Chains A and B, each alone.
Chain A
Amino acid sequence: MRSKRNVGYFYISPWIIGFFVFTVAPLIFAFYVGLTEWDTFNKPKYIGFGNYLDLIQDEDFRKSLWVTIKFAIISVPLGIATSMLIAILVNTKVRGVYFFRTALYLPAIVSGVSISLLWKWILDTDFGLINLLLSKVGIAPLGWLTDGSLVMPSYLLMALWGAGGGMLTYLAGLQDIPGHLYEAAEIDGANAFQKFKHITLTMLTPVIFYNLIMGIVGSMRKFGDAYIIGGAENEGRFYMIYLYENAFKFFKMGYATAMAWVLFVIIMLLTLLAMKSSSAWVYYESEVSTKKKKKVR
């Protein structure tokens, strides 16, 4: 038995080694780097928690964090609601539904860079599609990316456009809801809203929970499109952009690594908060079944 177990360990040893070399060791090293002043060309100089203390004083750090949090607070619930709505719409049995499903999912499979470039054009003040459409109804061109107050709405608009990507999980969740629940509700005289609230929404809570976690992580780590598109008055300078600038433009790798750890802690706390709250609003049918079985015994 023991020899069998050792053979098992031997077979999984490449993964274990990979885990230590490529995950654990860099994590330990990154923690150390966060405690140093390191320009990457010379040896790191240990400064304790100096980087973390500097972050508190750093106006640009606070601004980038606020921009990111603002984006997350609005985009995550908005994305969840939109994706769910799209999923409900394409879950109906209408002609051409497969076309709509495919079309709506397309943004999720297109390269992020090309989407960003496309949006840069769409949002352009002089040649952009949005301003062209607005001009047709007599609205003067808006500086979507050049007017600081419009930069965040522009990013939210872009986030909404990608809501079709989240649709897939909701669609799978919707198709997993047993039809007899709706039949029973109808017999009990439930109206459409009651059916949606007490069956659809309730049964979808695990999917909503999953998308909430992924949304928090994704929006807090926003980088690709912001790097390409930017935005006036630093309104498009998300946390990861400022982190990148510190690491690769300002040669402050220690400071950037400290920022990475702060972000890690923020994401972890938000995730823990979401998980802690999940017992109050996420419904798992399997848990209920297990409890029922236990009661029967």
Chain B
Amino acid sequence: MKKKGTARLGLLLTLLLAFTVVLAACGGDTNNSKATGNNNVPADNAGKAAQPVEKVKLKVATWAGAEELREFEELIAKVNTSATDYEIKVQSIPADYYQKLQTMIAGKQSPDFMWLSQEYIAQYASLGAIAPLDEHLSGIENYNAEDYYQGTVDVGTYANKLYSLPWISQPYMLYYNQDMFEKAGVELPTNDWTWEEFIAAGKQLTKDGDWGALLNNIPTSMYTWSYGGDVFDKEGNITLDSPESIKGLEMYQKIVNSGITPARAQADSMGNGDMFKTGKVAMYVGGASDDFERTANFKIGMVVPPHGTEQVTFSWIGVTAMANTTANPTVATKALVDMTNAIHKWKVVAPTKSGFDEIKTSRPDKEYAVETIRQASEIARGFNNQPKQGEIDGAIWEKLTQAIEKGEDVNTAVQSTIKKINDITK
């Protein structure tokens, strides 16, 4: 009986031992998980006493793949060559980027830097995944806060702290097919067009199976901005039901009801940009660096999108944020500034005033509209992003945008959207 018990105990101990070995193998080194392989690098304080013995190793996660990745790697190689105290390594995640990033952060394997689209900044900041930069940026010579267009800085700010540096800002522009305008005898759009003028022109251009305009890219909030409203103010209070916001949304419904745009489903299935490229629509709102000038077979013009009481346009803004877990935030911030400055000379449209003119050399096809794009960059902005922006975007799409497009009462749609947003943020 005793022997049997001993054998069982032995077996149990063997299993436990093996189980522990497996767990230990899976667990990894907690120090390693704090930063990406830079334990042997002196931290901020230690660095004061002695010269760094080795460059700080940093990792930047990007969604870039293929050609874009190759160009980015070349850019990083140049940055690394001139750097004395850090070395950046590129980690490409071309598919399921945010899911993988989330898993890496959850597994304490966060990259030191990560590319983010603007709507993720508040979320990542509120969850403590990314670090505020203000303190570390103050001593960096080649960082010039004044050089950035205000809208691009605003989207990277959460709770009055700056969490990211923008590397691209694509203001939305109104492209138009000059041939269609001339053929229909319609006056060409201007930079100070109102929405009313836009609708009037659109009606004249909507004929023979062609459409006046396609605006599906415009986020619904941009119509509220156009009349001085917003979904949230900068403090995060809901302002969707303000008279200004309602006026903007009513204008959106007026545009939809005017019949100058194809149904969203039709445009989605035919490809929004393709409809413009193939001359099916006369006006199209797209990013400033879209390639219509290279691909379309007609004369193209570009102006700032129409306005209500305010002239404003949406901008798609890409940023790089720094992980909260990076081991040497001072050196990392310096690397972030160097890397971001280098990207401004690569990506168009740059979010800085000094980098803006790069567009002339990298995209000569845009030269005709450089001043217009500059004007748009000055008035461009992103959302007042909230920590639960992902869910809020879903609510806006479901309760507001779709309802307005279906012709439902704007006030009712707004109240229904606010109720849903309150449920999300409670």
Contacts and interface: CB of A to CB of B under 8 A. Distances in A.
Q: Do A and B bind each other?
A: yes
Interface in A30-81: 39-42
Interface stretch (A121-129, A209-217, A286-294): A121-129
Interface in A245-269: 245, 248-251
6 nearest CB pairs, A to B: A146-B265, A40-B106, A41-B127, A126-B269, A249-B390, A248-B99
A41 B129 contact: yes
B106 A17 contact: no
Given A40-B105, A248-B102, A9 B390 contact: no
A125 B266 CA distance: 7
A248 B265 contact: no
B196 interface: no
B66 interface: no
A196 interface: no
A177 interface: no
Contacts of B14: 10, 13
A107 to B, nearest CB: 24
A14 B390 CA distance: 42
A127 B268 CA distance: 11
Interface stretch (B16-24, B202-210, B226-234, B236-244): B16-24
B22 A17 contact: yes
B123 interface: yes
Interface residues on B, range: 20 to 34
A149 interface: no
Contacts of B391: 249-250
Nearest to B10: A6
A2 B127 contact: no
A20 interface: yes
Interface in B71-113: 98-99, 102-103, 105-106
Nearest to A127: B269
A143 B265 contact: yes
A125 B106 contact: no
Given A21-B22, A248-B99, A249-B390, A125 B4 contact: no
B192 interface: no
Contacts of A20: 19
B99 A251 contact: no
A41 B18 contact: no
A125 B265 contact: yes
Contact of B128 (A2, A9, A42, A124): A42
A124 B388 CA distance: 33
Interface in A202-254: 232-234, 245, 248-251
A16 B15 contact: yes
8 contacts: A6-B7, A6-B10, A13-B18, A14-B18, A42-B127, A248-B99, A249-B390, A251-B127
Nearest to A14: B18
B13 to A, nearest CB: 12
A42 B394 CA distance: 24
A139 B135 CA distance: 66
B270 interface: yes
A249 B102 CA distance: 9
Interface residues of A, number: 29
B197 to A, nearest CB: 30
Given A126-B269, A143-B265, A232-B265, A13 B15 contact: yes
B102 A6 contact: no
B369 interface: no
Contact of B11 (A9, A14, A42, A146): A9
Nearest to A147: B265
Nearest to A232: B265
A42 B106 CA distance: 8
A76 to B, nearest CB: 29
Interface of B: 3-4, 7, 10-11, 14-15, 18-19, 22-23, 26, 98-99, 102-103, 105-106, 123, 127-129, 265-266, 268-270, 388, 390-391, 394, 398, 402
B123 A251 contact: yes
Nearest to B393: A249
Given A13-B14, A41-B128, 16 more contacts: A2-B4, A6-B7, A9-B11, A10-B14, A14-B18, A21-B26, A42-B127, A126-B266, A126-B270, A143-B265, A146-B265, A146-B268, A146-B269, A249-B98, A250-B390, A251-B127
Contacts of B103: 40
B127 A39 contact: yes
Interface string A123-139: 01111100000000000
A132 to B, nearest CB: 13
Contact of B106 (A41, A232, A249): A41
Contacts of A128: 269
Nearest to B103: A40
A20 B4 CA distance: 24
A234 to B, nearest CB: 7
Contacts of B3: 2
Contacts of B402: 233
A229 to B, nearest CB: 13
B19 A17 contact: yes
Interface in A108-128: 124-128
A280 to B, nearest CB: 43
Given A17-B18, A20-B19, A234 B269 contact: no
A194 B116 CA distance: 67
Contacts of B390: 249-251
Contacts of B18: 13-14, 17
Contacts of B15: 13, 16-17
Contacts of A126: 266, 269-270
A13 B3 CA distance: 21
Contacts of B102: 40-41, 248, 251
Contacts of B23: 21
A6 B6 CA distance: 12
A14 B388 CA distance: 43
Nearest to A2: B7
A189 B211 CA distance: 70
A276 B391 CA distance: 41
Contacts of B19: 17, 20-21
A10 B18 CA distance: 11
Contacts of B22: 17, 21
Nearest to B392: A250
B105 A41 contact: yes
Contacts of B106: 40-41
A6 B106 CA distance: 40
A271 B92 CA distance: 43
A246 to B, nearest CB: 9
Contacts of A13: 14-15, 18
